[in-house]
């Protein structure tokens, strides 16, 4: 169950009216209180700050009761208790006004003070019941320690900066009445702050406003205690704190009635830049204040000792927890390392089994396949006697199938040897032009049969590579290009020089490859069109083998394509260093080298045409297409 915000437009008419009335009342009471308490009332002090406090308390109680009606479960009980607190405060304020306020007799045991003191009970109970965060059972130790450090530090600061004056001026029950409120406020504020810091989840505006309520109560109660001992109670500015506290609580109640929330989740380990160190910062500030202003009285000495002791215990607990986490992390790393070791051993065992299988395929399948292919070719050629007319197509189909199966076995063996590292590479300096022409000339029959121009751009570069493997890669790329280029098209092998590399590109004018397939075409048995394997007798392993050959030689391979216009496969090979400068000179001599698109100087002209394409057959007539001269 997530947190869903209910907008005012989605609420019922009664809810919209209640929200509008509540927001308007909060704004009106705030404005009136500022004018009255700050002495800006134009007609004189007909209203008093105490009356504004009573109005704000009644408004806070009404909004809290409204939130209790709108909610259910623990949230309803919490708001009922908070509504009781605000109602008791409002009644106590009214009685305080009726007794004459500051001009009354000593108030230590007055009915108003009794109501104020009793209001602390539902306040504490409501705060404890408020569903702010879940998971307290597993984190109560950390929450308690953080709360004790933060609370004792705030109490020490309050005592040093303000309450020491009250404790010296008052005695007995009167001192108790004036000191119990700020002390309780500090405890409750510390609890809310710790729960906010230690929880994670969606923002809870109602919880933030509740924290601001008790912060305002702390400021107001401290100001009230100081004003009492200084004789400055009438319309004192501290009364704005009580008004602000009541209005913060009213706003929190409206937020709780408007927002459908769930408790934030308490965390075992604090995160973020502030949360882990905020209790320590409060403790350091309190102890530094002790050193600056001095410690007087037993209470302050006890509080300072408590802050120092609790902070030390918290650090010891955190150190113990971190040590335990470190040991647990080391244990988990050791377990994962052992698991990876077992997986690696299993992988090696399976890899050895795979190598044995590949070896078995190499020795056990190649020999019978060769015999089958030879026998079928003899039957198809008539060396074993003439075949019946109906048997000839069957034998030819079987011969093509055996040839494809033989190629598939060879490709699987090559691919497995490449991936296992047993496919040996023997790098040496080679004339790149000879490698290109050798590969292209081996495909002349295929190009002539397809009616496709096969062109090779001349190049004088020397490269460091395994010549046989590069030839194999070129045969795969050019063969693929010829298969997917229609009659009358062209396949061109181009080169470009960039820095210490030569880029070889096989360009065709075929159907192209969809953009989303460009990354997948180098996978095993991948076909852009499932019918390609049947139409072109391909195994789907040529590009995978080519990629691993190029990778093994230290280069890289990639493809570019435009649907309907053709495809280009690029791969790079390292230059033979002594030949780098002559290559540059040859590529720029006489203006023969064209400029590639960001890849260096591309040698485009002159182009060696190995196989001119055959013209398309005439629309009418059955003549064989003539060979076009170069």
How many percent of the chain have pLDDT more than 70? Answer: 75
C-alpha–C-alpha distance, residues 554 and 216, integer Å:
70
Give residues with Cβ within 8 angstroms of 575, minimum separation 6.
461, 462, 463, 464, 497, 500, 501, 502, 583
CA distance 459 to 604: 9
Rounded to whole angstroms, the Cα distance separating 287 from 280 reads 10
Q: CB atoms < 10 A from the CB of 227, how many?
A: 17
Distances (CA, A) of 238 to 89, 219, 220, 426, 595: 16, 7, 5, 90, 81
pLDDT the model gives residue 175: 73
Question: What pLDDT sits at residue 204?
Answer: 83
Are 613 and 487 a contacting pair, CB within 8 Å? Answer: yes
> Could you tell me where the DSSP H helices lie in 467-570?
467-483, 532-536, 542-552
**How many CB atoms within 10 Å of residue 153?**
29
Cα dihedral across residues 411, 412, 418, 421: positive or negative: negative
First to last CA, the chain: 76
What is the tens place of the pLDDT at every residue in 351-369? 778 777 766 766 677 677 7
- 307 Cβ contact partners less than 8 Å away, ≥ 6 residues apart: 149, 152, 153, 156, 283, 286, 287
Residues of the chain with pLDDT under 50: 1-10, 43-45, 102-105, 107-108, 234-235, 533-534, 579-606, 613-630
Based on DSSP, count helices (H) and strands (E) in the chain, helices before strands.
Answer: 19, 15
DSSP state of 343: H
Distance CA 488, CA 510 (A): 10
Yes or no: say if 575 and 478 are a contact pair by the CB < 8 Å rule: no
Residues 6+ apart with CB under 8 A from 421: none
Closest by Cα among 429, 424, 433, 431 to 469: 424
258: nearest Cα among 196, 202, 200, 204? 204
Closest C-alpha among 206, 48, 243 to residue 132: 206
DSSP H or E run through 97: helix 73-98
Contact partners, residue 216, CB within 8 Å, separation at least 6? 241, 242, 244, 245, 248
Which SS3 state, helix, strand or coil, does residue 442 take? Answer: coil
Vertex 320: Cα angle to 314 and 324 (nearest 5): 145
- Distance, in Å, from the CA atom of 332 to the CA atom of 328, rounded to the nearest integer, reads 6
User: CA 401 to CA 373: how far, in whole Å?
Assistant: 9
Residues 34, 39, 44: CA angle, nearest 5 degrees = 120
pLDDT score recorded for residue 537:
53
Q: Are strands 490-498 and 453-456 parallel, antiparallel or unpaired?
A: parallel
Q: Is residue 610 within a helix (H) or strand (E), and if so which, with residue range?
A: strand 608-611
Radius of gyration of the chain (CA): 44
Are the C-beta atoms of residues 545 and 412 closer than 8 Å to each other?
A: no
pTM score, whole prediction: 0.53
H or E element that contains 207: helix 205-230
Q: What is the pLDDT of residues 29-60, one digit of tens each?
A: 999 888 888 777 654 445 677 888 899 999 99
Q: For residue 606, say if its preceding peptide bond is cis, omega within 30 degrees of 0.
A: yes
DSSP letters along 245-296, please? HHHHHHHHHHHHHHEE--PEEE-SS--SSSTTTHHHHHHHHHHHHHHHH---
| 309 and 303 Cβ atoms separated by less than 8 Å | no
Which contiguous run of DSSP H or E holds residue 603?
A: strand 601-603
In DSSP terms, which residues pair with 508 in a beta bridge?
491
Alpha carbons 185 and 187: distance in angstroms, whole number: 5
Q: Of all helices (H) and strands (E), which one includes residue 428?
A: strand 428-431
C-alpha–C-alpha distance, residues 341 and 349, integer Å: 12
Q: Are the beta carbons of 53 and 217 closer than 8 angstroms?
A: no
């Amino acid at each position: 169950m997530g947190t869903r915000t209910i907008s005012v437009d989605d609420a019922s008419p009664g809810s919209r009216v209640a929200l509008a009335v509540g927001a308007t009342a909060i704004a009106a009471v705030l404005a009136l209180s500022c004018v009255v308490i700050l002495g800006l009332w134009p007609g004189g002090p007909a209203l008093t700050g105490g009356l504004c406090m009573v109005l704000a308390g009644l408004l806070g109680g009404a909004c809290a009761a409204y939130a209790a009606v709108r909610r259910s479960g623990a949230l309803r009980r919490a708001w009922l208790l908070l509504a009781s607190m605000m109602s008791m405060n409002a009644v106590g304020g009214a009685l305080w006004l009726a007794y004459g306020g500051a001009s009354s007799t000593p108030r230590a045991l007055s009915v108003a003070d009794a109501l104020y003191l009793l209001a602390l009970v539902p306040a504490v109970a409501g705060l404890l019941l408020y569903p702010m965060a879940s998971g307290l059972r597993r984190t109560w130790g950390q929450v308690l320690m953080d709360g004790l450090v933060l609370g004792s530090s705030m109490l020490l600061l309050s005592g040093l900066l303000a309450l020491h004056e009250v404790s010296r001026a008052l005695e007995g029950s009167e001192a108790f009445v004036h000191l119990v409120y700020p002390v309780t406020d500090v405890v409750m504020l510390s609890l809310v702050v710790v729960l906010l810091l230690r929880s994670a989840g969606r923002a809870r505006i109602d919880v933030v406003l509740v924290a601001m309520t008790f912060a305002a109560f702390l400021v107001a109660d401290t100001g009230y205690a100081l004003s009492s001992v200084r004789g400055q109670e009438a319309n004192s500015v501290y009364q704005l704190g009580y008004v602000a506290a009541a209005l913060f609580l009213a706003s929190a109640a409206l937020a709780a009635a408007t927002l459908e929330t769930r408790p934030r989740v308490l965390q075992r380990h604090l995160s973020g830049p502030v949360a882990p160190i905020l209790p320590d910062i409060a403790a350091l500030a309190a102890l530094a204040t002790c050193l600056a202003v001095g410690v007087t009285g037993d209470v302050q000495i006890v509080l300072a000792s408590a802050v120092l002791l609790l902070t030390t215990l918290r650090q010891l607990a955190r150190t113990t927890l971190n040590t335990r986490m470190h040991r647990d992390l080391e244990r988990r790393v050791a377990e994962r390392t052992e698991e990876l070791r077992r997986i690696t051993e299993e992988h090696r065992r399976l890899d050895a089994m795979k190598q044995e299988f590949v070896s078995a395929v190499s020795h056990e399948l190649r020999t019978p396949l060769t015999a089958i292919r030879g026998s079928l070719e003899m039957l198809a050629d008539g060396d074993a006697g003439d075949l019946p007319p109906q048997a000839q197509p069957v034998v030819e189909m079987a011969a093509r199938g055996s040839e494809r199966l033989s190629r598939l076995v060879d490709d699987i063996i090559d691919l497995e040897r490449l991936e296992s590292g047993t496919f040996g590479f023997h790098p040496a300096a080679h004339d790149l032009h000879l490698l290109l022409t050798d590969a292209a000339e081996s495909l002349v029959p295929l190009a002539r049969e397809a009616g496709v121009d096969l062109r090779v751009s001349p190049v004088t570069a020397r490269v460091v590579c395994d010549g046989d493997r590069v030839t194999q890669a070129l045969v795969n790329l050019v063969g693929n290009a010829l298969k997917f280029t229609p009659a009358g098209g062209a396949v061109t092998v181009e080169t470009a020089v960039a820095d210490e590399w030569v880029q070889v590109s096989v360009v065709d004018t075929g159907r192209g490859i969809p953009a989303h397939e460009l990354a997948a075409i180098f996978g095993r048995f991948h076909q852009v069109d499932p019918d390609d394997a049947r139409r072109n007798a391909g195994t789907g392993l040529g590009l995978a083998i080519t990629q691993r050959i190029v990778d093994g030689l230290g280069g890289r391979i990639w493809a570019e394509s435009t649907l309907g216009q053709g495809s280009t496969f690029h791969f790079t090979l390292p230059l033979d260093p002594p030949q780098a400068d002559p290559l540059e000179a040859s590529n720029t001599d006489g203006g023969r080298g064209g400029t590639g698109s960001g890849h260096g100087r591309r040698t485009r002209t002159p182009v060696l045409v190995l196989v001119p394409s055959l013209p398309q057959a005439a629309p009418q007539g059955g003549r064989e297409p003539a060979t076009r001269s170069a």
